[in-house]
A and B are shown apart, each in its own frame.
Chain A
């Protein structure tokens, strides 16, 4: 067996396990935790297109989650349009907003960019909280929107059990990972990495860094909005603090940074490590030690920045290839 094939085999196995898991795991609690894990892996992978490859630190991605959630929900509540179509409309809207935010902010350096994206996201959240109706659309300000679970089924994107949600988010995650893989090997991917590391040098070589970053931002916000619609249909209730809060933006960034930004495996690894820690410490220590999971997040973040500033995917991939090669009987390439 060739080494590259041996290295891919466990990934195929992992995919099969992920597909078969709901057949074994019947507990709705665990499925819920897994769905949120995939959702955050998805969000972080989408974030990674800008935050990872383009080398900036956006801290306002919750805006796009909110735009996706609100657009599809308003369209389905007030016009009876299927959330699947609303999902696309929301994504287009989000990528327009993403480009509007990106145009002026990408000129800024590190910290200024992070602050500007925070200000945008918080500004949009505050406005949403203050607006009851926007033209013909009912937004309901801080009260949010409730989706009455009337008709279940695929067309209405509403299900009585967790399994369909599980497979939908799994498919979304697989799709966004494949897209990231494709982009990282495309011209655009190289432009982004080059522009993120040495903008002046890349520009001197004729790379239009600003344009590459804008395309990445448009794609990232487009994909992030999908997750917003999923979130709305999964929880059936959205309000500005739930889908647009700064906490979401920060958690996405945390997962990416701990897992390893700018890599394909990083966001998934980060979500695999952090989400269960968060969920289980909330379940078991939530009432005795409130906020424990956030302390753990903070400590892990600092330790990772200390010892592995490029994220945990680097040592983990190294170990992974070594173990797989050993198992497959491949000698390390001399």
Chain B
């Protein structure tokens, strides 16, 4: 029984990091109405930035946030501004522009293989960082410290984005654009700037997830693919566009992945996650917290 509790806790912690990775995806979808297939690659870029920031300067892994967040925000902002915006403009009157989805798929291939080109295929990890393999012990239970910090980061990010969207002027503009981009434009909101900012924030959050992962996870060019499909599943579970839903969806997936192996072969848990995803897609495509009309 203790195992199950321990696994559940670790599942929730790891799942919240999945949720953190998916948070950016759901934010970008909420505003642009585009599923960003390159999101896993953005996470991969974030992990590399974090890795090099720590490996080259010897900083504490979490201090790297100060470098990663601005770099990733700028990266996402420019990516949207230079590559995605022109295509968006060409398909102005389509609500869910499919060409933009295709372009993000192209970006995914480019980013993953560029990093293979530049950094090579080897797995990298931060060998002697203070958090590696660190555990908290509660009686017989062991809880991973870097995952616990990842959980804190996920909750903090979710709260911060929620406050940003609800309480600030800019957040209100983002929500208005998300509801109706044309009406928002008529109110004097520059919708393309909002897209850039939403994409920038989404990418920066992927960067935070990268920082949370780097102390205990390997960095390699195709690491994003591992998270990509997981992120899609999480945002559909939680409801595409729902900020809190991403965190909850992530935890659900995390718990299945970590408790499941107690009862079946570990590889089967993946099939269960896909099955759950499909069930949700058919029965309640708007997810746990999604809005009905977004379907």
Contact = CB atoms under 8 A, between A and B. Distances in A.
Given A111-B35, A123-B275, A290-B113, 18 more contacts: A104-B282, A108-B295, A115-B35, A115-B236, A115-B281, A122-B229, A126-B267, A126-B274, A130-B267, A291-B116, A291-B117, A294-B113, A295-B113, A299-B106, A301-B105, A301-B106, A302-B107, A305-B99
A234 to B, nearest CB: 26
Contact of A302 (B83, B96, B285): B83
A109 interface: yes
A130 B271 contact: yes
Nearest to A103: B282
Interface in B243-268: 265, 267-268
Given A123-B275, A292-B117, A306-B87, A298 B108 contact: yes
A64 B98 CA distance: 24
A301 B35 contact: no
Interface of B: 34-35, 83, 86-87, 90-91, 96, 98-99, 101-103, 105-110, 112-114, 116-117, 121, 221, 229, 232-233, 236, 265, 267-268, 270-271, 274-275, 277-278, 281-282, 285, 295
Shortest beta-carbon contacts, A-B, top 4: A291-B113, A123-B274, A298-B109, A298-B110
Contacts of B233: 119
A107 B283 CA distance: 12
A305 B265 contact: no
A299 B111 CA distance: 10
B110 A295 contact: yes
A129 B270 CA distance: 11
A64 B99 CA distance: 25
A298 B107 contact: yes
A289 B281 CA distance: 40
Contacts of A130: 265, 267-268, 271
A116 interface: yes
Contacts of B35: 111, 114-115
Nearest to B121: A290
A282 to B, nearest CB: 12
A118 interface: yes
Contacts of A301: 102-103, 105-106, 109
Given A122-B274, A130-B271, A295-B117, A305 B109 contact: no
Contacts of A111: 34-35, 96, 98, 101
B112 A291 contact: yes
A250 B105 contact: yes
Given A115-B35, A119-B281, A298-B113, A109 B107 contact: no
Nearest to A123: B274
A167 interface: no
A254 to B, nearest CB: 8
A291 B236 CA distance: 31
Contacts of B117: 289-292, 295
15 contacts: A111-B98, A112-B236, A112-B295, A116-B281, A118-B232, A119-B232, A254-B105, A290-B116, A291-B117, A291-B221, A295-B113, A302-B83, A302-B106, A302-B110, A305-B103
A144 interface: no
B263 to A, nearest CB: 14
Contacts, number: 112
Contact of A109 (B90, B96, B268): B96
A212 interface: no
Interface string A192-236: 000000000000000000000000000000000000000000000
Interface string A291-334: 11011011101100110010000000000000000000000000
Interface of A: 57, 104, 108-112, 114-116, 118-120, 122-123, 126-127, 129-130, 250, 254, 257, 289-292, 294-295, 297-299, 301-302, 305-306, 309
B162 to A, nearest CB: 24
A57 B101 contact: yes
Contacts of B112: 291, 294
B106 A305 contact: yes
Contacts of B102: 57, 257, 301, 305
A115 B232 CA distance: 7
A114 B99 CA distance: 13
A290 B285 CA distance: 39
Contacts of B34: 111
Contact of A295 (B87, B109, B268): B109
Contacts of B83: 302
Given A110-B98, A115-B35, A115-B236, A294 B281 contact: no
A55 to B, nearest CB: 9
A126 B270 contact: yes
B272 to A, nearest CB: 9
Given A108-B281, A111-B101, A126-B274, A299 B268 contact: no
Contact of B267 (A110, A129, A250): A129
Nearest to A128: B271
A112 B110 CA distance: 24
